[in-house]
Amino acid sequence: MNEELINTLVDQVITKINEERGFLVEASGRHVHLSQEHIDRLFGKGYQLTIDKYLSQPGQYASKERLTIMGPKGALHNVVILGPARKASQVEVSGTDALALGVKVPVRESGDIEGTPGVVLINGSKMVALEKGLIIAKRHVHVAAKDAVKMNVVQGEIVKVRINSEQRSLIFDDVVIRVSDKFATAMHIDYDEANACSFKKGTRGYIVK
């Protein structure tokens, strides 16, 4: 067997392994997570969010309720609330959104909100001024526990992810791995990142080590 044929077969095997390890990439727009306390203040005591559609992560959903996010220089309207309620309220925006609001927003993992700026949430005549919780979400891959071994990754690991697209293929660096038996395996990027790689529905990512 000649060297060229061997190299071709090796390339085919590597390609197949990468395809098997590939995962869905999802673009996540600006959204709000609310504590029950803040749901009560914005919608009424004991209010329950109305499920509009379920998301890829088990138990998570987009609600029918919408809010306005107000910053020092501007506002973002019709922002979706994701449920269910959380222990602490959190607002996730893109870098472009942060410019529109007029706030310097740090890149953080979800839930890491200490030392982050606040923002005002508005529903009609009701308002909540958050003291903290405004973040740009660090790009990440949710990995189901059963897939972690197959993908050769561990909780908290920082990896690179290759995105193949027709016009703007790229490799994202500094991607955090989050492993749980409550997750469905999928990568989440914001709309700025999605535009950078010409994202479209069905885009897949591949870990590069």
Q: Judge: domain 22-26+139-208, CATH 3.40.470.10.
A: no
Question: At 98, which amino acid appears?
Answer: A
pTM recorded for the entire structure: 0.87
Residue recorded with tokens 């989440």: 188
Question: How many other β-carbons are positioned within 10 Å of the β-carbon of residue 114?
Answer: 8
Domain extent listing, the chain = 22-26+139-208, 29-137
pLDDT number for residue 8: 62
pLDDT digits (tens, 9 = 90+) for 4-18: 666 566 455 555 555
> 148-204: per-residue pLDDT in tens?
999 999 999 999 999 998 889 999 999 999 999 999 999 999 999 999 999 999 999
Each residue's pLDDT tens digit, 36-95: 999 999 999 999 999 999 999 999 999 999 999 999 999 999 999 999 999 999 999 999
- How many angstroms separate the Cα of 53 from the Cα of each of 32, 82, 137? 15, 10, 22
Cβ within 8 Å of residue 59, ≥6 positions away:
84, 182
